[in-house]
Amino acid sequence: MDTPQPILEAQDLRKSFGTLEVLQGINFSLLPQEMVFLIGPSGSGKSTLLRCFNRLEEPTGGKIIFDGVDLMSPDVNINTMRQQIGMVFQQFNLYPHLSVTKNITLALRKVSKKDSSEADEIAREMLKRVGLEEKANAHPDELSGGQQQRVAIARAMALEPKVMLFDEPTSALDPELVGSVLQVMQKLRDSGMTMVVVSHEMRFARDAADRVAFMSEGQIVEEGEPGAIFENPQQKRTQDFVSEISR
């Protein structure tokens, strides 16, 4: 059996803010159709790592290889690459001045250069997938947080990315709205989407993830199947974190 090629790789990735080194040489690789959770205490660098993957954060050293392309190379058109790397944010970040449909179609029209009827058709399809067809003409401020986040997921999915990055997608939600977003993520996972998720939803991580990477102080301390990480962590820092969160 061939070893599958990773779709996304970080090699000795470093990021400093001033004198503070928040990523201290990260090596990480993601296989197609994998769902990996990045967990760890706040300030451990997991969001920064995620944001380096599409260069919303500029790494100060190391490499990011996406689909065989070195994203740090000066020849790379980062805008083209970013279309293939969807991102979902903690604060949803929908465009408040545009309708739900227009939120989804903006990049389709302006970056993928699709005509508006085709873009609208894609938006309809994506809204159906996240269960919000009836909100096509609503504005973001008419939606609940959970609905906004599902629209944000639809917006990222519409570009048919090869990987989707989730930066604490449920952290800004009221507890009763978390479930609907996790459901959409589960469906996306079942459809074979490759995903990296920074999240504190440990139960979801345990149920859905293929792999969990535990980060602390700018390093990946330990990674493995969720069962191994949560039930039988090898490293002291992982053990401390796991016992802390399962209390």
Q: Cβ 127 to other proteins, closest distance in Å? A: 16
Q: Indicate the pairing of strand 20-30 with strand 8-17.
A: antiparallel
Q: What is the maximum alpha-carbon separation in the chain?
A: 56
Q: Does 166 bind other proteins (CB under 8 A)?
A: no
Q: Quick one: which segment of 42-50, 148-156, 207-215, 225-233 binds other proteins (CB under 8 A)?
A: 148-156
Interface residue with other proteins, options 54, 170, 180, 238 (CB under 8 A)? 54
Residue whose C-alpha is closest to residue 134's, from 143, 115, 153, 156 = 143
Q: Which two tokens stand for residue 138?
A: 């609503």
- The only residue of 86, 169, 218, 226 in contact with other proteins, by rule CB under 8 A: 86
Q: Which of 39, 156, 181, 220 binds other proteins (CB under 8 A)?
A: 156
CB 150 within 8 A of CB 123: no
2/141 with CB nearer other proteins: 141
* Alpha helices in 111-173, H assignment, sequence order: 116-129, 145-157
DSSP-derived secondary structure letter, 112: S
Whats the size of the chain, residue-wise?
A: 247
Which of 73, 110, 234, 235 is close enough to bind other proteins by CB under 8 A?
110
Using CB under 8 A as the binding criterion, the count of chain residues that bind other proteins stands at: 28
- At 243, is the secondary structure helix, strand, or coil? helix
Binder among 155, 189, 211, 237 for other proteins (CB under 8 A):
155
Which residue shows structure tokens 């190379």?
73
Q: Specify the residue, 93 or 239, whose C-beta has the smaller distance to other proteins.
A: 93
Judged by the rule CB under 8 A, the positions of this chain that interact with other proteins are: 54, 56, 79-83, 85-87, 89, 91, 93-97, 106-107, 110-112, 140-141, 152, 155-156, 159
